[in-house]
Amino acid sequence: MYIPKIYDEKDKKKITGIIKDNPFGILVAVENGIPVASHLLFELVEKGNDLFLYSHLAKANQMQSLLKLDLSFLAIFQGASSYITPSWYEKMNVPTWNYISVHCYGKAKKIDNHDEEYQLLNRLVNRFEMKYDYKYKLEDLPDDYVKDEMKGLTSFIIKIDKIEAAFKLSQNRNEKDLNNIISHLEKSDDNNEKMIAKEMKAKRDL
Amino acid sequence: MYIPKIYDEKDKKKITGIIKDNPFGILVAVENGIPVASHLLFELVEKGNDLFLYSHLAKANQMQSLLKLDLSFLAIFQGASSYITPSWYEKMNVPTWNYISVHCYGKAKKIDNHDEEYQLLNRLVNRFEMKYDYKYKLEDLPDDYVKDEMKGLTSFIIKIDKIEAAFKLSQNRNEKDLNNIISHLEKSDDNNEKMIAKEMKAKRDL
């Protein structure tokens, strides 16, 4: 990804935070020279210095066949984004778009072990059921039912071998402009714009 | 994109609506067999039955060189998305994720005509400045300044030759489940979940 140095985020905790907070990502691969993509849920797991992405897709998804090949997959995660009007700047300028995006590259490997696959799905379910007081649990379902449902899925793991993170948050503006942009975005009724203001503040206050 | 028939949206107005409402998309291409992507702003233009995407990127962006080649680009646009807990269903089931996504494929062509490029940028600026009462206008800037800024950009047009739209909105649920999901999501304080409820209602009430 093209990332001017000033927007190139290297802080591992911030980068992994974006993936964890925005787990519904896009898996991209190349099939017969053409880019193909699926919208999937990902779990990021850190083991020592290594980063892994776990995910699953429907067996009927054509991308499933690509998992067998020795391909480089790209997983894209997007944070907030917002239009920035130059009317908030002191001096004449052109508009821009602030955004946060993380690109992860790596080879994918199918998970054929039933228990490992079950644990992966169980962690995913619990993560999202937390919001609903864990009223629903995979372990409350009959074993045969879960096994049957799992037959329709292919789970996989990607060992990330390259990670790129663009945190484009007006780092090229002076402090007065920066404060002005933040205070305008904070007043927005758009959650996305509020989130960009929050990220800009975190960056400014480093 | 893998789209089960029940989620395969064919209504052109709905599909183009997603692109227009979510213009900050992802341009994907293949470079040396590897997928590469940039986060860009797009304008959708309809001419008769044809659909075109206008956009621009920084000249320093490596993807710029790909615009010269006879490649198939993929532009991805995302609508709302939300986790759906099976605790809202009448009968036992597994969780899912509702989402809307549009994939556009086509060849890209650089726009070398200065006036055409200016008009494209001017339309983009006006579109987003509408929200701020058009306080900022490209035409208020000195010509030389705009020309200089434009030297840093490459504008391009993609004629869409294939469009795929997944509107995954619980169409596989019965009416009672559907109403229950919608009423829960409507009460959420997450705009994204509220938006999915709105899209589900639009789909249900067809």
Q: How does pLDDT run across B78-104, given as a tens digit for each residue?
A: 999 999 999 999 999 999 999 999 999
* Residues B159-188, mean pLDDT to the nearest whole number: 96
Q: How many CA atoms lie within 13 A of B104 on its CB side?
A: 28
Residue B206 confidence (pLDDT) above 80: no
Q: How does pLDDT run across A69-87, given as a tens digit for each residue?
A: 889 999 999 999 999 999 9
Of A35, A99, A103, Cβ closest to residue B29: A35
Share of chain B above pLDDT 90, in %: 95
Q: What is the CA radius of gyration of chain B?
A: 20
* Residues B165-183, mean pLDDT to the nearest whole number: 96
Reference A12, options A44, A39, A54; nearest CA is A44
Task: Please state, in angstroms and rounded to a whole number, the distance separating the CA atoms of residues A122 and B95.
Answer: 11
Q: How does pLDDT run across B194-204, given as a tens digit for each residue?
A: 999 999 999 98
Which of chain B's residues have a Cβ under 8 Å away from the Cβ of A18? none
**pTM for the model:** 0.97
**CB B132 to CB A87 under 8 A?**
yes
Of B37, B85, B145, Cβ closest to residue A76: B37
For residue A37, the distance in angstroms to the closest alpha carbon of chain B comes to 6
Given a contact cutoff of 8 angstroms between Cβ atoms, the answer to whether A39 and B164 are in contact is no
* Residues A102-116, mean pLDDT to the nearest whole number: 97
Q: How does pLDDT run across B149-170, given as a tens digit for each residue?
A: 999 999 999 999 999 999 999 9
**CB A24 to CB B128 under 8 A?**
no
H/E stretch holding A180: helix A175-186
- Residue B124's CB is within 10 A of a number of other CB atoms, namely 21
Show the tokens assigned to A172: 């090229």
- Helices (H) then strands (E): counts for chain B: 5, 6
Q: Is A57 on the interface with B (CB under 8 A)?
A: yes
For residue A124, the distance in angstroms to the closest alpha carbon of chain B comes to 10
Cα distances from B125 to residues A188, B108, B109, B195, in angstroms, run 19, 22, 22, 26
**CB B74 to CB A34 under 8 A?**
yes
Reference A123, options A72, A66, A52, A73; nearest CA is A52
**CB B97 to CB A24 under 8 A?**
yes
**CB B24 to CB A87 under 8 A?**
no
A190 CB-contact burial (10 Å; exposed 0-12 / middle 13-18 / buried 19+)? middle
Which of the four pLDDT bands, split at 50, 70 and 90, describes residue A204?
Answer: confident
Q: How does pLDDT run across A117-143, given as a tens digit for each residue?
A: 999 999 999 999 999 999 999 999 999
ipTM associated with this complex:
0.97
**What pLDDT sits at residue B147?**
96
Reference B118, options B158, B145, B98, B92; nearest CA is B145
